[in-house]
Structure 1
Amino acid sequence: MAKYLLIMRGTDESNAAMMADIDELMATTRTFIEETIKAGVLLAAEGLDDPGQGVVVDFSGETPVVTDGPYGETKELFGGFFLLDVASKQEAVEWAKRVPVARGAKIEIRRVPGDDEAPRA
């Protein structure tokens, strides 16, 4: 088994579409979560607050610079995630295809390496 993070990435348009049907989306999301729990693959799932409430700490200069959201040129923002423990990347992909999202949204899938895979100095 391996851990995979399914990162929900939305645009202004997909986020607006999501908010238009929020009750239906929340109901289908609860159903999706129940299915992942029954399958024994869900480790965690969270949605994120509005990007306007966040900050970015930028380390590209001499000292860190903190900028309040929203973030100017950003085209897509992370909206939440599901952390799954599945047998393969393909299984993670199959679960991601079932995540209820608005048209235009994306799901990024990233494997979470185990402790034994961490780079050593």
Structure 2
Amino acid sequence: MRFMVIVKASRDSEAGVMPSTELLTAMGKFNEEMVKAGIMEAGEGLHPTSKGARIKYSGGQGTATNGPFALSGDLIAGFWLIKTKSLDEAIAWMKRAPFGGGDEIEIRQVFSAEDFGEALTPELREQEERLRAQAAKK
């Protein structure tokens, strides 16, 4: 099972405060442990929303709004993409993440082709597999 681990934004991350050398060292060690265990597929930090934009869709058209955005529970400061045998295993790994008091993450399972049932026709499945292979080459 694949899981997206969403690291919630904080006042500091939204203010552009960079992590300390100590936190970067601890995070590097944690990431290395996950890579050695074969569960980490990706992981990155994100710039604050002041350097981003949102696009809202209505009537088939998108309208962009530049950040910053008000600090709320839906802002993201970073992520991991991990592959574990279960949600419980993902939780066990993430409990070890080197975060401090008040930091928060969310763990969400990534859909697999099987989750879509008959709606994902053989043609759509083939297209998905082809696009994944092409993206992996770049």
CA displacement 1:42-82 (0-9 Å, x = unmatched):
111111112110000012x444221111113x413201111
Please give the secondary structure, in 1, of the residue aligned with 2:29.
helix
- Kept after mapping to 2: 8 A contact 1:10/1:104: no
**SS of 1:37 mapped into structure 2:** helix
Distance 2:18 2:81 in 1: 26
- 5+ residue gaps, structure 2: 121-138
1:97 Cα deviation (Å)?
0.9
The reply to whether residue 11 of structure 1 matches residue 16 of structure 2 is no
Match of 1:75 in 2: 72
Query: What is residue 133 of structure 2 aligned with on the other side?
Result: none
Q: TM-score, normalised by structure 2?
A: 0.74
Matched residue, 2:94 = 96
| Alpha-carbon distance change, 21 to 48 in structure 1, aligned in 2, over 3 angstroms | closer
Q: C-alpha distance in 2, partners of 1:103/1:116?
A: 38
- The CA RMSD measured in Å over matched residues stands at 2.3
3-state SS in 2 of match to 1:33: helix
Identity %: 29
Give the length in aligned residue pairs. 117
Give the number of the structure whose residues are more often helix, by fraction: 2
1:16-55 matches, within 5 Å, as: 19=17, 22-55=20-53
Distance 1:33 1:25 in 2: 12
Which 4+ residue blocks in structure 1 deviate beyond 4 angstroms?
A: none
Larger strand proportion of the pair: 1
- Residue of structure 1 aligned with 2:114, choices 104, 113, 116: 116
SS at match of 2:81: strand
Distance (whole Å) between structure 1 residues aligned to residue 18 and residue 49 of structure 2: 18
1:58-69 to structure 2, matched below 5 A, reads: 58-59=56-57, 61-62=58-59, 63-69=61-67
